[in-house]
Structure 1
Amino acid sequence: MLDGLDTTADHGPTAGSARIGYARVSTADQSLDAQIDALTKAGCTVIYSEHASGTKDTRAELAQALKALRSGDTLVVWRLDRLGRNLSHLVTTVNDLAKRQVGFESLTEKIDTSSAVGELVFNMFATLAQFERQLNSERTKAALGALRARGRKGGRKATLSLKQIRQAKTLMDDPELTASDVAKTFGVSRATLYNGLKRLKVDASGDHQPAV
């Protein structure tokens, strides 16, 4: 939901700029009140809020908040993990804001990218995010090597086990790997791989248990 809050706050925005807040909780039974109160006190005149898991690719209210920001505005969150799904996503989002000349502020960590110290902190985050990506890539390559080393005896199997589907999903999350790479690793076609991932998605929704 979108909460338009026209309030007199302790830290008013400068002329011609806006402080736009974004609040998020992960489950429907959690309250947004504490975050909204903190954002209002920090001078946010408009606050976008939603209930959404941090791992979700689609967060409608965050998308609306990012769309509403203009050059000179500042996006404000209560805590860093309210914005990014992970460190890499957080850094990418803030860097995209910087390219649009939009500031970013996190109240809990006292980070403000409009200041020299805040910019330095985020440069450190960017370095850590790159390190994290390299580690993940090395782990993925090691996992691929181990799976290929086991090999398959005989002909191809028409289906994948639930364990293999979960392994395949993890590998598919690596941007350096294609679906063909992952399918080849398990000795199946791309169609079989995608069918297996669909079965896993159905199972996660609780509709029914996939056959394995």
Structure 2
Amino acid sequence: MGKSVAFLAQTPGSATIENQQSWLNPDDIEVLAGRKTFSQLSELLERKGIGLEAGDRVKVHDLSCLAIATPMLVRAIAKLLRNGVSFEICTPRIIVEPGADDKLHAMLDALDSHYRHLHGIKTHPAEMSSPGRKQLLGPDKLPEIRERLSAPGATATDVAQELGVARSTLFNYLERYDLDRRVGREKKGVNRRPENSGDDSHVAESDRDETAG
């Protein structure tokens, strides 16, 4: 097993930091949240010069210690699992292991997909498939779409035409399924360009970040 990282945070009524520390193992790496949320764990680790790798584990004392909206928490945990990092809740002792055969992992992925679907209905109702309509772009097409977009000279408009969908449909698809793109876009100062900038060589951002509000 790799390294174990303990995310320590406190909310009104939750266990104190001192109480949480009493549950830790001697080799656990302690990360104090301060004003950061659980979804910003990677940023806190970067300050310590630490990176998470497959085989590592992230643990929290209890979910009541985390001041983060449930959909965002599910997304953060799902991201860890997709990167091969297990997640542990100390009280009660629940360990979610990465892997398609782990039922808890599958449940978290399903919840994350459910939230993304409802968000898509709310923000892009015209782009969502009508009842009984065949879905043109399924999640299994993501590797192919990534390859098309990364081809020399490829533009979002060209790729959308090749796939037989509207340009906005392609953007909505990437917003829903391409988690790596979303994570990279959320980092401050990383090539943020408005959709109407005229540079069609990069996939435009949605008008609002999902985490807003």
The TM-score bracket by the shorter chain reads: 0.3 to 0.5
Q: TM-score scaled by structure 2?
A: 0.45
TM-score of the superposition, structure 1-length normalised?
Answer: 0.45
Structure having the higher Rg: 1
